[in-house]
Amino acid sequence: DIQMTQSPSSLSASVGDRVTISCRASQSIGRALNWYHQKSGEAPKLLMYDASNLQSGVPSRFSGSGSGTDFTLTISSLQPEDFATYYCQQSYTAPTFGQGTKVEIK
């Protein structure tokens, strides 16, 4: 299985901050990388697919980059509704997820 490692595991930030979350794959996955966020008690929601494609309806403050083994999700200006847990997921082989990054209010 391809292992996905996110960093950091958690972070504290303020509304308006620029936030960056990293995701590393244990082997090259091209650009087969998706990002989700999940609010407490809710199902995950797709944010980005194929590393840098914004899912329909997702605000443009979200962006993704990377290829091969290293990927990044950036929130340009954190909003109150963005406080959640973020997961990366590879779709190169049998899908696996990162352990999650919890974004909390500072």
For other proteins, the closer of residues 19 and 32 by Cβ is 32
For other proteins, the closer of residues 30 and 68 by Cβ is 30
3-class SS of residue 64: strand
Residue 74 token pair: 């950036």
From CA 101, how far away is CA 87, in angstroms rounded? 7
Q: Does 98 bind other proteins (CB under 8 A)?
A: yes
- Shortest CB 2 distance to other proteins, Å: 12
Query: Which of 19, 25, 36, 84 contacts other proteins by CB under 8 A?
Result: 36
Beta strands in 1-106 (DSSP E): 4-7, 10-13, 19-25, 33-38, 45-49, 53-54, 62-67, 70-75, 85-90, 96-97, 101-105
From CA 29, how far away is CA 19, in angstroms rounded? 24
Q: Does 100 bind other proteins (CB under 8 A)?
A: yes
| Residues of this chain, 1-20, that bind other proteins according to CB under 8 A | 1
Query: Which of 19, 29, 34, 47 contacts other proteins by CB under 8 A?
Result: 34
Q: Write out the residues near other proteins by the rule CB under 8 A.
A: 1, 32, 34, 36, 42-46, 49-50, 55, 87, 89, 91, 94-100
